[in-house]
Amino acid sequence: MMNTKKYPITAIIIYRNEKHLLTNCLEALHWCDEIITIDMQSTDGSNVVANKYANRQFEVDPYPIAEPTRVEAAKHAKNDWIFFVDPDEIIPPDLSEDIIDAIETSPQVGVIQIPIRFYFKRRMLTGTVWGTSTHVSKIANRKRANILPLCNRLMEPRENYENYRIPHRPLNHMIHLWSDSYRDLCHKHFVRYPHLEAKAKVTRGESFSLSRGFIEPFNELKICLRDFDGWRLGPRGFALSIIYFIYTIASIWLMLRYQGKVTPNDTQSHHSSPQLREVNPATKSSHARSAA
């Protein structure tokens, strides 16, 4: 039987044309006391799915990166604990139990880092840099941590508070449905992500150099294939390693475009914050399926 108890956590999900992912994502958050969804002008009926689960729904114009929108959405949360979840992420029961335990037993925690595993074509990767067990900061207490509008750096604990990393166990990792096809993977890592990563590198104060531009990609290729056992995956491992190699080249050399245009700690907000517009304000105190 599903545990129907809810905990004082607000889950925030931003989506755009991800109807095929939203049900599994939102269903797995049934234990959160509040769910807030933000629609970036979807046209596939994603909002119909969101309406079944969300306590509050907003819409916003598309934005280059999600972080500024998350910051604005967090201002509308009724709980201090904020959980940022993407539509292609699923929280299994073992992980939700670990999250709840960390919140209830760790008064000095400001940010919680959770285990994550990447899934390609719905199968967990076990090789290349994407096939390793790692952690990602996804949960913050807004009284104990700063929630930032920075690409790849969304939260950091305030003074006197700390990061807490949930230990990885066999079944307690967040399922990241990373990509379902090579076409989708190449589009993301050859077109969109290199620009975001290049700008993030410059924002963090990193700088381009010729040695870095030529040497680092080959080091990353070696790490993918040898250190992280990409070669054991056969053709798939080599293909993914080459994709990461090209992505690394692009993200480093694109730093030349952004040096001088962004500065360390630049919010990348384009000088304006996203304007969230509430739609279909929720009047019920629980998720729609709880009453079913």
- pLDDT, tens digit, 9 for 90 and up, residues 199-254: 888 988 899 999 999 999 999 999 999 999 999 999 999 999 999 999 999 999 99
CA atoms of 138 and 78, how far apart (whole Å): 18
pLDDT at 281: 56
Query: Can you list the domains of the chain with their CATH numbers?
Result: 7-177 (3.90.550.10), 181-258 (no CATH)
What's residue 43's pLDDT?
95
Kindly indicate the confidence band of residue 66, based on its pLDDT and cuts at 50, 70 and 90: confident
Of the chain, the percentage scoring pLDDT greater than 90 comes to 78
Q: Is 223 helix (H, G, I), strand (E, B) or coil?
A: helix
pLDDT band per the 50, 70, 90 thresholds, residue 20: very high
pLDDT in tens, 155-174: 999 999 999 999 999 899 99
Assess whether pLDDT exceeds 60 at residue 99.
yes
In 3D space, the residue among 27, 47, 24 whose CA is nearest the CA of residue 37 turns out to be 47
Is 102 exposed, middle or buried (CB count within 10 Å of its CB: 0-12, 13-18, 19+)?
A: middle
- Rounded to the nearest integer, the mean pLDDT of the chain is 89
Counting residues of the chain whose pLDDT is more than 70, the rounded percentage is: 90
**pLDDT range class, residue 284, cuts 50, 70, 90:** very low
- As a whole number of Å, the end-to-end CA separation of the chain is 15
Query: Which whole number is the average pLDDT over 70-94?
Result: 96
The average pLDDT across 75-99 equals 97
